Amino acid sequence: MASKTNPFTFLQQVRAETSKVTWPSRRETMISTAMVLVMVVFAALFFFAADQLIGWLIRLVLNISI
């Protein structure tokens, strides 16, 4: 069982640890955000195209007309 730490000591430890964190710059954050959004668009387009292709193949195999 872990030893209990009083809240004041805990907050001091948390503050010490967060001071060690290397935070990204605003530019790095913006670039990362843009990259994520671009990849989301590519993934959405890929899955849309795959869904359409699979649906077309199933309709072709089952000879279902819409």
What predicted TM-score, i.e. pTM, was given to this entire model?
Answer: 0.64
For residue 1, give both structure tokens: 């069982």
25-62 per-position pLDDT tens digit: 999 999 999 999 999 999 999 999 999 999 999 988 89
- Number of Cβ within 10 Å of residue 2's Cβ equals 4
Residue 1 has pLDDT above 60, yes or no: no
pLDDT at residue 4, rounded to an integer: 79
Closest CA to 56 of 47, 65, 45, 43: 65
* Domain extents in the chain: 25-66
- Cα separation, 49 vs 62, whole angstroms: 20
DSSP state of 7: H
Give the model confidence (pLDDT) of 9-28 as tens digits: 999 999 999 999 998 999 99
pLDDT at 3: 72
